[in-house]
Structures are given as C-alpha cells and as structure tokens.
Chain A
Amino acid sequence: MGSFISKLILLTTVISIAGLPKAYSVELPSDNWNLNIFSYAYGEYSENPDSNGQDIALGETAIFVFGRLSDRLSVLTEVSLLPKKYREDTVKVERITLQLDLTDKHRLVVGKMHTPVNYWNDSYHHGRYFFPTIDRPLAFKLFVPIHELGFRFSGSQLGKYNFFYDVVLSSGQSAMDRGFANGVASKTVAIGIKPTEHLEIRSSLYQDRIFNHLQDPGHKHPMAMPTTGTDLDWQLWSGSMHFENQTFEMLAELSSIRSASRNTSHSSYLFAGWKWSTRVNPFIFTDLLNVNSDETHFLPGKRRRFGIGIKAFISDQLDLKVDLSTYDFQGAVPQSRRSALRFQLSIGI
C-alpha cells in the first residue's frame, strides 16, 4: 500500500512539474491540473539559558497537486519534504485522496486525508502560509488525530444556515499508513453551520481504538503503568468557531478527550487578529492544554502558550509572521518555561 501510494505520488508530481514553463507562476499543460508549493523557514531568539539562544530552521515543503479527472472525479495529493537533518522521513505523503462529487452538495472522499475534527485540521493542513499563528494549537501535539486512511462522506450548503456534515470511517491512529489491517478502528462525525458568509461553527466526535497503546508511536506517557488490557478506547470532542470579515479574524478551537480514565482532559486555543491594513495584521493568541493526572496515554500536566504578534503580507506569495510568546509546562517531568521572539517566513506559489 505504502509503495503504491509513493509511486502514485511520484507519477502525479512528475507529470505536473513537467508542465511548468516557469518557476514563479505555476501553469500546467492542462486546465485540469493544478500545482502549488508551500514552504517556510523558522527562527527564534530566546534568552532562556536552557536553549542555545538563537535557532533557525528550514520547515517542511509541501507539494500540493489537484487534478480534475472528470466532471465528478478529482484527485488531490499533498507530499511534504524535509531534509534528513530535521526529520527521519524526508518524504511523507500527507494526503492522497480521490473525490467523487455525488451531487452538487454531497461528496465521497477516499484515501489518506486530514480528519475533519476541527476547523484548523480541515482547512490549513500543512500550509504554514495559511496558519494564523506560527504553531498549530498545542492539542495537535497530543489529542488531534491529524491523518487517517478512510472513507469520508460530506455534504455542505444545506438549508438556510448552510449546514454541513462529515462522516468518516477510517483505519485509526494505530494503523498509520498500513490500511485497514485492524478494520474500521475509528469513526468521526462532524457537523456545522455557516449562518453567514463570515462565520463557521462546527462540532465533532471522534472515536478510536489504539491497539497496544503502550507501544504505539503516539503514546506520550513514559511513566504509565500497564493497565488491564493494552488496547485503549478513547473519544475526542472538538468544537470550532471561525469568524472572518474585512476587519477581524477569530478562531476558537476547543477539545476534550476521554480515554481509559473516567476523567477528561481539555484544550483551548483562541486567536484574534485585526486587519489593521491590507498588509499588516496584528494578532494575539492563547493556547491551554490540561492533561488529567489519571491519563495513561498522554503525559499529564498543564501546558500554556500565549503571545502577541504580527502577520505581514510581504508579497502575493510571501508572508512573515513574528510573535513574542511564552510557553510553560507544569507536570510530572521537569517543569519548563521559556519566552522567545520567533519568526516564520512562509511562501505559497
């Protein structure tokens, strides 16, 4: 399966790149194919004595291809590249999907996709160019199942309030890219409305079974003692609210998980940006994540990040985000706190 996906991606990318007449403006030989490239660089300056003071790093480059195969059938791929210095897998298939438009309002998507559990994961994917802040919300490091291999039924533009829905049957987090070796291990139901063109509200429920969770790559609790039975059923609830008009942009991402323990863990991310001018948008954000002390899969503790920053649209293709932010962690492992002046230069062509 993995080999097949790699070959398909390679073929799609080569076909697309072969048609590029010039590097800056991406034009493909057919109107049915579209190629975009997103990349970024990251840097920070910190006075924290634990860090090395200054750090500059190259971020992942995402190659995005959209192909229209027929009126109703389209293919979408997103592959990320990163030098070995930064990541073990230099090439990763982030998304590869086939989409069938059943009607003008209902669709079926098959393949490896981003889960529609919240607005962020369903909109920004790996494009830092679109991120409102430098980082993803903290919940993405623990709670949010970013990718799944599965079947997604979607509908939108339904009724007066533009109701939309997603139902996903997928392989689950344990399966990674191995297909349905464990059958349908996870299910997602997401619903929402867009009552005005500026506002979107959504809520989702996600349920997954993590097989042998103590050995799972997503296991983030090194001190967890084996529990009776090592498979772990867990549920995630997410709620998102995104508002954007000509003056403001706001995003709220809330999530709550429940696993073997009866207690829940929570996270909340809040972003507010002001479109001060067409090229400069100041913003503030807070990001809180609280993992319950009874949790066995994720490391308990409180994580907090908050900051203030500016997003500058340098050109049509180039953005610069700068923020002054503080992150701290209070938990069982040594506690940490650091403040940094950070920047992210992102490009999208």
Chain B
Amino acid sequence: MFKNSLCLVLLLSSVSFTDILEGADPADLVFIANISNTIDPAEINAEAILKGQQRNWVNGARIVLVLPGKKAETYEHVSLQIFGETGMMMQRRWLKLVFSGRGNPPKYAASEKEIIDFVLKTPGAAAVIRAQNHDSLGALLVKAL
C-alpha cells in the first residue's frame, strides 16, 4: 500500500508546479465606491470590504462588491495584491465566505471597464481598479490602498 501511495503522491505533485506566486508589483490599485454623502470616507475600511469582513456600509446600506472575473485583465493582479494569492484561490476564499453566511456574494466582472461602469450606475457598489483608470469616475469615492 505504501508503494501505491508514494506513486500517487508523486503523480499528484506533478499536477502543477508552474504557477507559484511571484512577488506583487508595487501597489498601484485604488478602491472606488458609489456611496451617498451620509458616509464619512474616513470611516471606510477598504481592506475589510474587499476581504468580505464587512458587508454593510456604516449607514446600514448593503455593500455590492465587484471583483475582477477570470476574463478581466486585472484578475491575477488584484488577487495577488489584495489577497496575496492567485485568482482561483481568491474566488475560493469568497465562495467559502458566502457559504459560511458571512459575506454578500460579490459580482464578478469581465473587464475593468465593466467594473467601473457597474460601480458608476450602482449605489452602494465598491471595487478595486488600477490607479491609472480613475480619471473618468465622476463623483465616485476614490481611496488609495
């Protein structure tokens, strides 16, 4: 049995050893949110929102979080910088949060443009985007991470 087990272990070990995490680039992401002026930006804990530890704004309204989906150009970049892991593990982490009843299911967008459009038209929405794309955000709150 031990021989069989060793063979299996070696086989599984070769499933993938290629996509080990590389170090994250310097932070170039910003947190954006479509919130009413009843919320003090200083009270917003962007990290807690992005990691699902907070599901309502301080005024009680629901937080609608948008994360980059698999097709989005920032999928791996955001996962690595915010969660320190791959996009796949980020999605699993969020799935576990929702399954445990602790988090609102996030919406996954196919591109950064879709993320921005969604946040612009959805009160209570929040997301993380690249800092270079925060020029056309209108009245959205923009907060450095």
Residue ranges of A at the interface with B (Cβ–Cβ < 8 Å): 31, 34, 36, 38, 45, 47, 64, 66, 68, 71-72, 74, 76, 95, 97, 99, 101, 103-104, 109, 122-125, 127, 130, 156-157, 162, 197, 245-246, 276-280, 282, 310, 312-314, 316, 320, 322, 324, 339, 341, 348
Contact = CB atoms under 8 A, between A and B. Distances in A.
A278 B8 contact: no
A279 B16 contact: yes
Nearest to A28: B105
Contacts of A47: 1
A347 to B, nearest CB: 12
Given A122-B100, A197-B51, A277 B16 contact: yes
Contact of A310 (B9, B64, B86, B104): B9
B81 interface: no
A280 B124 CA distance: 38
Interface string B77-118: 000000011101101100110111110110100000000000
Given A99-B101, A316-B88, A45 B58 contact: no
Contacts of B92: 316, 348
A339 B61 CA distance: 53
A312 B14 CA distance: 10
B2 A320 contact: no
Contacts of B38: none
A97 B16 contact: no
A104 B53 CA distance: 10
Contact of B17 (A66, A124, A277): A277
Contacts of A109: 101
B139 interface: no
Contact of B15 (A72, A130, A314, A316): A314
Nearest to A102: B60
A101 B99 contact: no
Majority secondary structure, B binding face: loop
A277 B100 contact: no
B40 to A, nearest CB: 13
B62 A68 contact: yes
Contacts of B124: 71
B21 interface: yes
Contacts of B101: 66, 76, 95, 97, 99, 109
Closest 10 CB pairs of A and B: A34-B105, A279-B16, A104-B56, A71-B62, A324-B5, A277-B17, A312-B12, A123-B100, A310-B12, A246-B84
A246 to B, nearest CB: 5
B72 to A, nearest CB: 14
Looking at B62, B70, B124, which has the most chain A CB atoms within 10 Å of its CB? B62
A36 B103 CA distance: 14
Contacts of B89: 278
B54 A104 contact: yes
Contact of A341 (B5, B70, B99): B5
24 contacts: A31-B64, A34-B98, A68-B62, A71-B56, A72-B60, A99-B101, A101-B60, A104-B54, A104-B55, A130-B96, A156-B53, A156-B102, A157-B53, A245-B84, A278-B16, A278-B21, A280-B12, A280-B16, A310-B9, A310-B13, A313-B88, A324-B2, A339-B1, A341-B4
Contacts of A322: 8-9, 12
A127 B99 contact: yes
Contacts of A125: 99-100
B16 to A, nearest CB: 4
Contact of B60 (A103, A123, A124, A246): A103
Contacts of A314: 15
Nearest to A101: B56
Given A99-B101, A310-B12, 15 more contacts: A31-B64, A71-B56, A101-B56, A104-B54, A157-B48, A162-B53, A245-B84, A279-B19, A280-B15, A280-B17, A310-B9, A316-B88, A316-B91, A320-B12, A324-B2
